[in-house]
Chains A and B, each alone.
Chain A
Amino acid sequence: MGYLDGFKITFGKLFEERVTTEYPKEKREKPDRFHGRHVLNRYEDGMEKCIGCELCAGVCPAKCIYVRGADNPEEAPVSPGERYGFVYEINYLRCIHCDLCVEACPTEAITESKLFEFSFDNRSDAIYTKDELVVDDQGLPQKQPWELWHVGDDLKTSGWMRATASSGNPAYENRVGWSGELGYGVREPERGQQFDESEPQNLDGKDDQD
């Protein structure tokens, strides 16, 4: 039949369900563990979770994070404990969104949102500082002028998005092991994070290897 074969495919597809969307008017649901731009979370009482420990900067393979800690001011502490993140910068020209910073964070302070549509016209905009990264009083990311958001895009940015258990023990994966946070409190598990009431079977995690 020759050239008609091509038309056959076209016609065949006409009545199938459409897979393309009219991006950016329409956006598809992102996967649960989608790695977008970061946010710095706060506890329910408004305290910042970041303690300036620099573990994220240490683990970052792209070396795009710059953190400096400082003594928490006694009068108006920024975070619980003695140390807080005094400087926090992420250079998005370098970030590869590998999420290792999120894994490394001992306090669930840094998590990745599902926001990824941002384009800058100068390099300094690409360096997000602490003012831009930290969540607002509702616990939601702050919108930067150069970011494209749709309604609801800014949800799902919390510590829930972490892949491993906060203790590092795989047996505790998908179990809530942290305190509530601003805007989210302590939420029900999401899809893929099904919390199993039964006791974890593999507490020491040693069986994974051999």
Chain B
Amino acid sequence: MPDSQPNAVSVTINGTQIEAEAGELVIAAADRNGVHIPRFCYHERMSSVGMCRMCLVEVDTGRGPMLQPSCMISVTDGMIVDTESDQTKRAQEGILEFLLINHPLDCPVCDKGGECPLQDQTVAYGPGESRFIEEKRHYEKPIPISDLVHLDRERCILCDRCTRFADEVAGDPLIQFTERGNETQVLTFPNEPFSSYFSGNTVQICPVGALTAAPYRFKARPWDLEQVESTCTTCSVGCRVAVQSSRNELVRYLGVDIDPVNHGWLCDKGRFDFEAIKSPNRLETPLIRDPNDKDQLIETTWGAALAASADAIKEARSGKIGVIGGSRLTNEDAYAWAKLAGSVIGTNNVDAQLGDGLPGKVVLGLPGATIDEACSADTVLVIGPDLKEELPILHLRLRGAAKKKKVKVVEITPLQTGVSSYAHRSIVCRSGEAAKTLKSLLTSDDELSQEIRSGSVVVILGRSSLAESALPAIEVASVITEELPKAKFLVALRRGNVRGAIDMGLSPGLLPGRVPLENPNDEIKKIWAKVPTVEGLDTAGMLRAAADGQLDVLILVGADPLVDFPDQDLANRGLRGAKFVVAIDNFPTLSVANADVVLPATAYGEKGGTTTNIEGRVSRLAQLVTSPSAARDDWMIASELAWRLGGDLKFSSMEEIWSEIEQVAPSHNGITLEKIWADETRDGILITETSIQLAIEPSGETPVVDGYGLRLISGRKLYDAGTQTSNCASLSALAQDAELRVNPTELERLGIQDGSEVTIISTKATGVAIAIADESIPRGTAVLPFNNPGIRANLFINSELPVTDIRIETR
């Protein structure tokens, strides 16, 4: 990618004169003009190394034609390039012969066989026969270099792509070249596996079958794959993926390179979690509480399950119904549920978030930034969750921009995160006090403060810890709007389509299309049978109301409050307090087990539609496989329920729903189906329009931690005990057991041995965990992952308080 200003130079490639940008590489200029130069090591998203020499072409800059690697030479005015000369062809044949002399040619057993650049380019440019009669190089056949990636050094052509990726892009330089000359090989360091969150990308960019992914190993051959392009919904970054299946079974995701979002990269969780979709644990049939044994759920028919649900909703007192969840859904599904709740049931008790994000009005009210804007702003303030754990590709993009010195990343965090390694400044503050810290930073005459104020600022805002309420993050927003009025925000919400669900009105006080409840637009009044007027409760409110007997029916749409709501005690009381709980889900989660009716829904890859990412970018999802037995799309369930409740949602396909969204939602006006499906909108359509006015309520002080307590910090890990991860055979083992990490001096003060079991005491519960001394944890705090195998942090968290303090004792 040329960094300099567009500065056209004229270059002749194979006799055709073309315009190129000064500083652009010859190979890139040729690519843009439809001339393919064979290559192995060159990758447009990484720096050139010129290792494979496959891209040698004849370049004449006035001193006569010379063989030059086109991935290293920048275009200059008047340059003459010949990619097809005899000299070039001889060089290409020679290089390929060299590459093949030690290549094992075990293509029939190689996963890459059939889609292998080495195979393809050998056919296209190769010499046709080998003159090599010696013994080939031999190494031990595939060695696992991590739980997910196998390395076959015999097949490796040492192009430096994987090692470059690990170092340059992922920042986990755990694979390197060892030995030299003919013995050069890629290897991990002794006893240190290639445990990177992004290791799967090396498999995708490997130009041979040297790196293979354990979850895809021998599952299919390229020629029996079916493929659609879709968007990943594992987190809310919205990476473009190619979804591939064989025999109606998902077998592989590949990253698709789009400029605004993922640059072709995927995190390993997003890449390999297709295993969950074909998991045998999927819910396949509707379940209903056994009338004879209240502890049992038994299989039933759709008719019976829906009738029971509809009856419960009909019997409920008006307004005493709540819908929790929806961030797993597509935009269309979310709209159907919003319409069911608002237009048919008549309640605004809808919340797509499980008390682990920020209020919908804040999300939509803050001026939005795109990922590109974040990666080109002068300063990026990161005040939120560990991006590496929750939004890995955003972390990758930000890291890339910081490494290229395009942005200055300033982080305010209660503990070291993945961002700290490339942050210009990483300011550690006590959990819950980010706003105070930020304010004193911005009002000080520190050099950094001047730097932040003098340039453009993008704030990546979220909840630094799930043991905090949303208040500290909202306070940060208010400090920024006050001190840096031009700053833009990228709200770091984690769940797949949480942004889309909020856009579709699955958030209290909002209507579809980023419209406030107080001020409904005309279209919605025309199309919806009734529009709610009273602002509903959020998830915490609904659970509290249910616990107090104030809510009769709770509908969980792909939500598992017992695990995901930060306060398990409240979630538990809420689910028990509600008279009737309907759960719509893919998996038998903990909350599903507490439901009265369970309705199985279709999952990713089994339905089409659209999704909206963290920036508000609408991109399409594609259907490739069919769902197991009786599962139905969420919008169909909503439609059915509406019909049984005497209403009619008036649509019978995803396309019809979108057409209605396009009409009803002012922010989505004009985004027709044709536009979404057009080829040029592969990158998605960014929606920036919003009618929400930001109103930040003032809040109280964060309480001071007392001398005996430790402030609890809890964040999610990429691999945790979440439903999706634990249903992936390859990923579930990667989730580390939950450990309580505390600064060693604190442990010493309390007389606790490193690695011993401790009792954690909070106002909510008492539990046992292993305490680990960790220098990187600030004193006065204790860190417990939110949902890792062992003990869940939400056992201890009190969502009523802005922060949670705990005590630990030896057992």
Instruction: Give residues in A with beta carbon < 8 Å to B.
Output: 51-55, 57-58, 68-71, 81-83, 86, 106-107, 204
Assuming the A-B contacts A58-B224, A82-B141, A204-B129, are A53 and B109 also in contact, with contact meaning beta carbons closer than 8 angstroms in the complex? yes
7 contacts between A and B (CB under 8 A): A51-B109, A58-B114, A58-B223, A68-B218, A71-B218, A81-B109, A106-B108
CA distance A58 to B142 in the complex (A): 25
For A107, the chain B residues whose CB sits under 8 A away are 108
What are the interface flags for B167-194 relative to A under an 8 Å C-beta threshold, 1 for contact and 0 otherwise? 0000000000000000000000000000
Which 6 A/B pairs are nearest by Cβ-Cβ distance?
Answer: A53-B108, A69-B218, A83-B109, A54-B221, A106-B108, A58-B223
For B107, the chain A residues whose CB sits under 8 A away are 106
State which residues 404-418 of B face A: CB under 8 Å.
Answer: none
Across chains A and B, the number of contacting residue pairs, with CB separation under 8 Å, is: 40
CA distance A51 to B109 in the complex (A): 7
CA distance A52 to B106 in the complex (A): 12
Q: A51-B108, A54-B221, A68-B218 are in contact. List 16 more A-B contacts (CB 8 A).
A: A51-B109, A52-B109, A53-B108, A53-B109, A53-B221, A54-B220, A54-B223, A54-B224, A58-B221, A69-B218, A70-B218, A81-B109, A82-B109, A82-B141, A83-B109, A106-B108
Q: Is B684 on the interface with A (CB-CB < 8 A)?
A: no
Nearest B residue to A107 by beta-carbon distance? B108
CA distance A55 to B141 in the complex (A): 22
Assuming the A-B contacts A52-B218, A83-B218, A204-B129, are A69 and B109 also in contact, with contact meaning beta carbons closer than 8 angstroms in the complex? yes
CA distance A51 to B113 in the complex (A): 13
What are the interface flags for B103-146 relative to A under an 8 Å C-beta threshold, 1 for contact and 0 otherwise? 00011110001100000000000000100000000000110000
CA distance A105 to B106 in the complex (A): 13
CA distance A36 to B665 in the complex (A): 65
Q: Is the CB of B109 within 8 A of A71?
A: no
Nearest B residue to A86 by beta-carbon distance? B218
Assuming the A-B contacts A82-B141, A82-B142, are A55 and B217 also in contact, with contact meaning beta carbons closer than 8 angstroms in the complex? no
For B108, the chain A residues whose CB sits under 8 A away are 51, 53, 55, 106-107
For A70, the chain B residues whose CB sits under 8 A away are 218
CA distance A53 to B129 in the complex (A): 23
CA distance A54 to B221 in the complex (A): 7
Nearest B residue to A57 by beta-carbon distance? B224
Nearest A residue to B223 by beta-carbon distance? A58
CA distance A195 to B376 in the complex (A): 71
Nearest B residue to A63 by beta-carbon distance? B224
Q: In the complex, what's the smallest C-beta–C-beta distance from A16 to chain B, in angstroms?
A: 52
CA distance A41 to B114 in the complex (A): 25
State which residues 210-265 of B face A: CB under 8 Å.
Answer: 217-221, 223-224
Q: In the complex, what's the smallest C-beta–C-beta distance from A88 to chain B, in angstroms?
A: 14
CA distance A195 to B113 in the complex (A): 33
What are the interface flags for B76-111 relative to A under an 8 Å C-beta threshold, 1 for contact and 0 otherwise? 000000000000000000000000000000111100
CA distance A53 to B109 in the complex (A): 5
Q: In the complex, what's the smallest C-beta–C-beta distance from B147 to chain A, in angstroms?
A: 15
Q: Is the CB of A81 within 8 A of B218?
A: no
Q: Is the CB of A71 within 8 A of B217?
A: yes
Nearest B residue to A80 by beta-carbon distance? B109
Q: In the complex, what's the smallest C-beta–C-beta distance from B761 to chain A, in angstroms?
A: 48
For A86, the chain B residues whose CB sits under 8 A away are 218
CA distance A81 to B142 in the complex (A): 10
Nearest A residue to B141 by beta-carbon distance? A82
Nearest B residue to A51 by beta-carbon distance? B109
For A58, the chain B residues whose CB sits under 8 A away are 114, 221, 223-224
For A204, the chain B residues whose CB sits under 8 A away are 129
Q: In the complex, what's the smallest C-beta–C-beta distance from A186 to chain B, in angstroms?
A: 22
For A68, the chain B residues whose CB sits under 8 A away are 218-220
Q: In the complex, what's the smallest C-beta–C-beta distance from A121 to chain B, in angstroms?
A: 27
For B217, the chain A residues whose CB sits under 8 A away are 71
Q: In the complex, what's the smallest C-beta–C-beta distance from B441 to chain A, in angstroms?
A: 54
CA distance A61 to B114 in the complex (A): 18
For B223, the chain A residues whose CB sits under 8 A away are 54, 58
For A57, the chain B residues whose CB sits under 8 A away are 221, 224
Q: In the complex, what's the smallest C-beta–C-beta distance from B123 to chain A, in angstroms?
A: 13
CA distance A6 to B192 in the complex (A): 92
Interface centre among B107, B108, B141, by most chain A C-beta atoms within 10 angstroms, is B108
CA distance A69 to B219 in the complex (A): 7
Interface centre among B113, B129, B221, by most chain A C-beta atoms within 10 angstroms, is B221
For B141, the chain A residues whose CB sits under 8 A away are 81-82
CA distance A204 to B130 in the complex (A): 11
Q: Is the CB of B224 within 8 A of A53?
A: no
Nearest B residue to A206 by beta-carbon distance? B128
CA distance A107 to B224 in the complex (A): 20
Q: In the complex, what's the smallest C-beta–C-beta distance from B730 to chain A, in angstroms?
A: 13
CA distance A8 to B224 in the complex (A): 62
Nearest B residue to A79 by beta-carbon distance? B109
CA distance A107 to B141 in the complex (A): 19
CA distance A134 to B279 in the complex (A): 31
Nearest A residue to B218 by beta-carbon distance? A69
For A71, the chain B residues whose CB sits under 8 A away are 217-218
Nearest B residue to A55 by beta-carbon distance? B108
Nearest B residue to A66 by beta-carbon distance? B247
For B219, the chain A residues whose CB sits under 8 A away are 68
CA distance A81 to B108 in the complex (A): 11
State which residues 764-779 of B face A: CB under 8 Å.
Answer: none
Nearest B residue to A109 by beta-carbon distance? B108
CA distance A52 to B109 in the complex (A): 7
For B218, the chain A residues whose CB sits under 8 A away are 52, 68-71, 83, 86
CA distance A68 to B217 in the complex (A): 11
What are the interface flags for B573-617 relative to A under an 8 Å C-beta threshold, 1 for contact and 0 otherwise? 000000000000000000000000000000000000000000000
For A81, the chain B residues whose CB sits under 8 A away are 106, 109, 141
CA distance A73 to B219 in the complex (A): 15
CA distance A52 to B217 in the complex (A): 12
For A52, the chain B residues whose CB sits under 8 A away are 109, 218
CA distance A111 to B220 in the complex (A): 23
CA distance A204 to B131 in the complex (A): 12
Nearest A residue to B129 by beta-carbon distance? A204
CA distance A69 to B218 in the complex (A): 5
Nearest B residue to A67 by beta-carbon distance? B221
CA distance A58 to B221 in the complex (A): 9
For A83, the chain B residues whose CB sits under 8 A away are 109, 218
Nearest A residue to B214 by beta-carbon distance? A71
Q: In the complex, what's the smallest C-beta–C-beta distance from B224 to chain A, in angstroms?
A: 7
CA distance A120 to B218 in the complex (A): 33
Nearest A residue to B217 by beta-carbon distance? A71
CA distance A54 to B218 in the complex (A): 10
For B106, the chain A residues whose CB sits under 8 A away are 81
Q: In the complex, what's the smallest C-beta–C-beta distance from A163 to chain B, in angstroms?
A: 19
CA distance A70 to B220 in the complex (A): 10
Q: In the complex, what's the smallest C-beta–C-beta distance from B310 to chain A, in angstroms?
A: 43
Q: In the complex, what's the smallest C-beta–C-beta distance from B109 to chain A, in angstroms?
A: 4
Nearest A residue to B221 by beta-carbon distance? A54
CA distance A86 to B218 in the complex (A): 10
CA distance A52 to B110 in the complex (A): 10
Q: Is the CB of B113 within 8 A of A53?
A: yes
CA distance A193 to B631 in the complex (A): 58
For A53, the chain B residues whose CB sits under 8 A away are 108-109, 113, 221
Q: In the complex, what's the smallest C-beta–C-beta distance from B183 to chain A, in angstroms?
A: 23
State which residues 471-486 of B face A: CB under 8 Å.
Answer: none
For B220, the chain A residues whose CB sits under 8 A away are 54, 68
Q: In the complex, what's the smallest C-beta–C-beta distance from B324 to chain A, in angstroms?
A: 41
State which residues 154-168 of B face A: CB under 8 Å.
Answer: none
CA distance A106 to B114 in the complex (A): 14
Interface centre among A53, A57, A58, by most chain B C-beta atoms within 10 angstroms, is A53
Interface centre among B106, B113, B219, B220, by most chain A C-beta atoms within 10 angstroms, is B106
Q: In the complex, what's the smallest C-beta–C-beta distance from A209 to chain B, in angstroms?
A: 13
For B113, the chain A residues whose CB sits under 8 A away are 53
State which residues 599-652 of B face A: CB under 8 Å.
Answer: none
For A106, the chain B residues whose CB sits under 8 A away are 107-108
CA distance A81 to B109 in the complex (A): 8
CA distance A53 to B107 in the complex (A): 9
